[in-house]
């Protein structure tokens, strides 16, 4: 599956979309769900929680294993996706549609430090070897 | 360098996701683990279990050797082909391995031992063979592949794939086996469903596998094998018991025969030991997934989850846990998951048998 060019990525396999109002939508990548397998549980951070960059803030669990999800940048949680909590398999079906939470970044420029699609592609390829 | 089974190329052709499983290159799934799980409960699944080791013991008085070697009593095996599940213990009463023993005739018993413990098991048995002067021949059968065919449609699929085998499958009772030349058909498994474990010469395995697929069998990876066995309440060596745990605290008292006067390795240690723990089933009442090593808090002290997963059949998380005695089915305990304490109910397992939820 191709890596969407319009998103940003982290080395810990989160994807980030910058919305027109400046908020960031966060999910886990197709590669991440492929490694984990069938998803059975998603726990999102509470709305209103303030996160530091890289802070463990959510959990996804497949039948096989639990995996932490990290805040891609510092910010405040402004929304969470209840649909993926009740249907975690949505992440397997389309990881880039099944968003987990939205952040209001503390610094609007911070997203610039994240990986672009080409850099993330390289990272995925290097991990495959 | 990972070890491979005779079906390695077949798994790769089928697009399996391969993982390092205790030094073996094995399929963890061929797509969706949950779909594979359901396929076994409702139809027929195929498992490559060739990493496990069949081991033939031949010679005079194999029975006498096994009476001393294992905790269950091989004198329960009186009809050719009958199988027995047992633990092999060390002197301290810890579990070296759990295994299946097939009685073929008085000069031939076949054992099947776990992959990760095979070398250790063989060394232990040879040591006992030398110590006791029993002069038996122990032959590891790495020339054999082993395929498990499991599910309500297992007999149908096997009969289609292997013309003539219905002469065996139509009369073979659960936990019995029959040999047909170098082929060995046992009505055993690790899923809680009807099914067979077939040993066949390695070179014939890929063709046999394809024939089973054409007959309607679906390849199943080790991922679903684990959720199936856990639903069926079957122990996994290395997780639910090992050399440091007593079978009496691992839900395996039913496999330890202390009735017969028989001096088996580990017996004295077991009889001198005080049992303070029990293996119980847990069903998580809150949302989340139980995993091995999570701490369990009970009114009688702390315990630990030994195996935990999300049950695809029950659509909730289940586990086996070693907890203090005196906690009965129906009571609740608290499980520490990350920073939370979640509520789980103690239950009598198995959780699922023959496609039906028993909890």
Catalogue all structural domains in chain A, each as residue range(s) with its CATH number: 8-107 (2.40.50.100)
- Residue B195, pLDDT score: 98
- Residue B180, pLDDT score: 87
Q: Which of B28, B291, B312 sits opposite A66 (nearest CB)?
A: B291
Does B344 reside within a domain? yes
Report pLDDT digits (tens) over A11-30: 999 999 999 999 999 999 99
- Residue B181, pLDDT score: 87
Predicted-assembly ipTM surpassing the 0.90 threshold: no
Phi, psi of B133 (to 5 degrees): 60, 35
Query: What is residue B80's three-state secondary structure?
Result: coil
Does B263 reside within a domain? no
Range of the domain at B348: 276-357
Report pLDDT digits (tens) over A96-118: 999 999 999 999 999 999 999 99
CA distances from B283 to B276, B277, B302, B314 (A): 22, 19, 17, 10
pLDDT at A2 over 90: no
Does B289 reside within a domain? yes
**Rg, chain B, Cα only:** 20
Does B118 reside within a domain? no
b/e for A22-45, b at 16 or more Cβ within 10 A? ebbbbbbbbbbbebbbbbbbbbbb
Report pLDDT digits (tens) over B313-346: 999 999 999 999 999 999 999 999 998 999 999 9
Q: How many domains does chain B have?
A: 1
In this prediction, what percent of chain B has a pLDDT beyond 70? Answer: 100
CA distances from B245 to B34, B278, B281, B303 (A): 31, 11, 18, 13
Chain B interface, best mutation among A40, A55, A90, by max B CB count within 10 A: A40
Q: Which of A41, A63, A64 sits opposite B287 (nearest CB)?
A: A41
- Residue B94, pLDDT score: 98
Which residues of chain B, if any, have pLDDT below 70? none
In this prediction, what percent of chain A has a pLDDT beyond 70? Answer: 98
Does B35 reside within a domain? no
Chain B interface, best mutation among A31, A34, A38, by max B CB count within 10 A: A38
When pLDDT is cut at 50, 70 and 90, the band that residue A127 belongs to is confident
pLDDT at A129 over 80: no
Interatomic CA distance for residues A43 and A46, integer angstroms: 9
Domain of B287, CATH number, reads 2.40.30.110
Does B22 reside within a domain? no
């Amino acid at each position: 599956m191709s890596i969407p060019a319009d998103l940003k990525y982290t080395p810990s396999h989160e994807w980030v979309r910058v919305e027109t109002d400046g908020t960031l939508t966060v999910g886990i990548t197709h590669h991440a769900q492929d490694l984990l397998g069938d998803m059975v549980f998603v726990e999102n951070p509470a709305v209103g929680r303030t996160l530091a960059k890289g802070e463990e803030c959510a959990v996804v669990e497949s039948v096989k294993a639990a995996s932490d999800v990290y805040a891609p940048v510092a910010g405040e949680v402004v929304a969470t996706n209840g649909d993926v909590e009740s249907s975690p398999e949505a992440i397997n079906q389309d990881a880039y549609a099944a968003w987990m939470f939205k952040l209001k970044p503390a610094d609007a420029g911070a997203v610039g430090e994240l990986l672009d699609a080409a850099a993330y592609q390289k990272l995925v390829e290097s991990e495959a070897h | 360098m990972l070890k491979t089974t005779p079906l390695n190329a077949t798994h790769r052709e089928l697009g399996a996701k391969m993982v390092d499983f205790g030094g073996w290159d094995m399929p963890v799934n061929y797509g969706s683990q949950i779909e594979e799980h359901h396929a076994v409960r409702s139809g027929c699944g195929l498992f490559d279990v060739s990493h496990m080791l069949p081991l033939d013991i031949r010679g005079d008085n194999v029975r006498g050797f096994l009476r001393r070697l294992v905790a269950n009593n091989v004198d329960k095996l009186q009809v050719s082909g009958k199988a027995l599940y047992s633990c092999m213990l060390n002197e301290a009463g810890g579990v070296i391995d759990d295994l299946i023993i097939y009685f073929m005739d008085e000069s031939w018993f076949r054992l099947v031992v776990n992959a990760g413990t095979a070398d250790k098991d063989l060394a232990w048995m040879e040591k006992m063979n030398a110590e006791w002067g029993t002069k038996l021949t122990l032959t590891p059968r790495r020339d054999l592949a082993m395929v498990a065919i499991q599910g309500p449609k297992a007999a149908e699929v096997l009969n289609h794939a292997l013309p003539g085998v219905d002469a065996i499958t139509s009369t073979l009772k659960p936990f019995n086996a029959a040999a047909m030349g170098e082929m060995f058909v046992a009505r055993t498994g690790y899923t809680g469903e009807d099914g067979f474990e077939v040993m066949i010469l390695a070179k014939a395995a890929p063709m046999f596998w394809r024939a089973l697929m054409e007959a309607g069998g679906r390849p199943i990876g080790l991922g679903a094998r684990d959720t199936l066995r856990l639903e069926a309440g079957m122990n996994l060596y290395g997780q639910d018991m090992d050399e440091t745990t007593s079978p009496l605290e691992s839900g395996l008292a039913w496999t330890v025969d202390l009735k017969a006067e028989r001096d088996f390795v580990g017996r004295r240690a077991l009889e001198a030991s005080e049992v303070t723990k029990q293996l119980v089933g847990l069903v998580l009442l809150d949302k989340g997934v139980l995993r091995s090593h999570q701490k369990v808090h009970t009114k009688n002290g702390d315990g630990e989850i030994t195996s935990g997963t999300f049950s695809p059949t029950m659509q909730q998380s289940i586990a086996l846990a070693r907890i203090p005695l005196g906690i009965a089915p129906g009571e609740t305990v608290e499980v520490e998951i990350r920073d939370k304490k979640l509520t789980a109910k103690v239950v009598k397992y198995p959780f699922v048998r023959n496609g039906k939820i028993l909890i």
